Amino acid sequence: MLSPHGDENLSEEKLEQTLKQFLEKGKEWERRPTSIASVFILKLPSYRGSPQRLGVEINPIDASGNPTKKRGLVIRNILEFKEFKQIINDEKLERVVSGVEKVNPPSAERPRPKKEAEVIEV
């Protein structure tokens, strides 16, 4: 008999398998899109004795589905996620960002070609 969350558990197992495979076979700094718009999985290289690992990158996408920034916000663990979530939800941050936007000169947007990539289903 399946548990009430049977499909969810299978989905989590499939996600973990896909992530393990990417960790083992992906190239350093390789970025893979997920089924969540603007969320990518990034393979981080080993650094100062810590092993290679995966991170979650949040990077807005353009109309073609390509990241708009060279590097987005990289989250390495659930504690970082919760800290960033709290910071981003702070109303004062929105006021600061709005103020910065008002004083900055406008920037030109340039279109980027679309590159097909394997999507990690979440």
Domain ranges of the chain: 27-103
Q: Give the model's pLDDT for residue 82.
A: 97
Q: Answer for the pair 17, 10: CB distance below 8 angstroms, yes or no.
A: no
- Identity at 69, one-letter amino acid code: K
Q: Give the model's pLDDT for residue 4.
A: 47
Q: Of 50, 7, 44, whose CA–CA distance to 29 is shortest?
A: 44
Q: What is the SS3 assignment for 87?
A: helix
Per-residue pLDDT of 21-31, as tens digits, reads: 999 999 999 99
Does residue 1 carry a pLDDT above 70?
no
Does residue 49 carry a pLDDT above 70?
yes
Q: How far apart are CA 32 and CA 13, in angstroms?
A: 18
The two structure tokens encoding residue 20: 């393990």
pTM of the predicted model, to two decimals?
A: 0.76
